[in-house]
Amino acid sequence: MPENILEMRRITKRYPGVTALDEVDFYLRSGEVHALVGENGAGKSTLIKILAGAESKDSGEVKLDGRVVEITQPRQAKDLGISVIYQDFGLVPHLSISENIMLGREPIRPGARGFGGFIDQPALQRSAVRVMTELGLNLSPKTPISRLSVAQRQMVEIAKAVSTQARIIVMDEPSATLTLHELDRLFDLIRTLVRQGVSVVYISHRLEEVFTIADRVTVLRDGKIAVVKPICQTNREDLIRNMVGREMVGDYPKRVASLGETVLAVENVARRGVLHGISFTLRKGEILGITGLVGAGRTELARAIFGADRIDSGAVMLDGRKLSLSSPKDAIAQGISLATEDRKEQGLVLGMSVRENTTLANLQAVSKGAFVDRARESDAALGFVRKLAIKTPGIEQRARNLSGGNQQKVVLAKWLFANSKVVIFDEPTRGIDVGAKQEIYQLMRRLAADGIGIVMISSELPEVIGMSDRILVMHEGKIAAEIPADQADGETIMRYATGGSEAS
């Protein structure tokens, strides 16, 4: 049996009013993939931040190769061969791919007469290309990060970590934005690294990935170890039970509402190079799923309906009226809302409180003249905290301190307070644990039961099939197929998504 390269023993970390980690033991063997799973707030991120030197532990010890080490800053972790790829990217947008991969380790060419020096650009390019080739990243190394898609940025982050020749690589939700092809490539890379003796900590809410790539799994629950097992000795239901401490009754709640009249109609919407003659309808109380591969135009369609991007032709109709959408403000005023894929950058103001975020899209409802009525705003926020079961110490808690699932609930509260008739969810459960997903699904069903029309964009096929009444499959900016959910399966959807069949 391989020896432990890393031992984290009795790790404890407390924050005011919260014990994030309670004497947690975590062991990583040389050349293994060890999955770390648990609900949001279970302590996964805190444990990894301690390992990375981004947080200090209150007690416990960390050993590398049997030797006690004190990691008090990220630089120390990197020097010890520990690299962490966080879910929120750490790339510099205006720098190129190669400059980001080699950031802080640029090769230097001596200056004239031994004075100073300059970055050796050819050497930098060669070093970056070597790693990119290994990953199959077919991009120009001179491309600025700002021009890359989210999926491409994720792969650059992985390339950056691999380039440091780290002995331990932690991947925090690495697949959240990857296509199936990119995910296969990532798994191939992980297997290559493991054969070279690298150890990988793989954090993911997608349990099917855990069973595909992991050797062992550790489940954290409420800051404590729930179970540690070889992956071959457990199953999905067992992991979920250990994660949430209760049995999960089905993955997707059943529909209880009937569908009403058409609330939204999109007619031949086009945007040059992105969307090509998109048409569909949405009824009151309906959940319309939209899926497709990265780059198919799903998010671009959502932004067009929301007024965030101008359309070249076509129309968006709400309750039979043609809308003039020159900005999101127009859409919000008409009753259309968009819960974006990136809730931290676009859905919330993280430095603001739960109270302030809840009313942000409809301030006039809690204002007297030019001033916000704090009491009315507090009443509104408290109402949604209760209605949506938002777990927070209070309405003055800053949004950045909430778990991913509760942040998503605050986004939903904001749009419900804005009296939305149509809610567009772009990847509603991205980065959210199994238990929180169930809560979001239940909330979506309740919205539908109240007559709200829901458009749900998702890359997770089980989610699309389980939650939708109808499914639209997009391919290269077009609707490739419309499928009733009860007739849908993953193989059929992927066939249309990859352009293998024409719409019927």
Residue 11: in which H helix or E strand, if any?
Answer: strand 4-15
What pLDDT does residue 40 have?
Answer: 64
Of 215, 244, 273, the residue at which a domain comes to its end is 244
Domain membership flag for residue 160? yes
Residue 156: in which H helix or E strand, if any?
Answer: helix 150-163
Domain membership flag for residue 440? no
What pLDDT does residue 428 have?
Answer: 84
CATH of the domain at 298: 3.40.50.300
If asked whether residues 227 and 271 sit together in one domain, one would say no
Spatial distance between the Cα atoms of 351 and 4, rounded to a whole number of angstroms? 40
What pLDDT does residue 503 have?
Answer: 42
Spatial distance between the Cα atoms of 202 and 209, rounded to a whole number of angstroms? 9
What pLDDT does residue 504 have?
Answer: 40
What pLDDT does residue 212 have?
Answer: 94
If asked whether residues 106 and 33 sit together in one domain, one would say yes
pTM: 0.59
Of 187, 211, 244, the residue at which a domain comes to its end is 244
If asked whether residues 218 and 296 sit together in one domain, one would say no
If asked whether residues 280 and 232 sit together in one domain, one would say no
Domain holding 194, by residue range, is 4-244
137-165: b (≥16 Cβ within 10 Å) or e: beeebeeebeebeebbbbbbbbbbbbbbe
The answer to whether 107 touches 123, Cβ cutoff 8 Å, is yes
Q: How far is CA 62 from the centre of its chain?
A: 29
Number of structural domains in the chain: 2
Segments of the chain scoring below 70 in pLDDT: 1-2, 17, 40, 87-88, 111-117, 176-177, 179, 246-250, 256-257, 294, 342-345, 500-504
If asked whether residues 92 and 150 sit together in one domain, one would say yes
If asked whether residues 207 and 290 sit together in one domain, one would say no
If asked whether residues 137 and 231 sit together in one domain, one would say yes
Domain membership flag for residue 222? yes
Annotate 402-460 with DSSP letters as a single string.
S-HHHHHHHHHHHHHHTT-SEEEEESTTTT--HHHHHHHHHHHHHHHHTT-EEEEE-S-
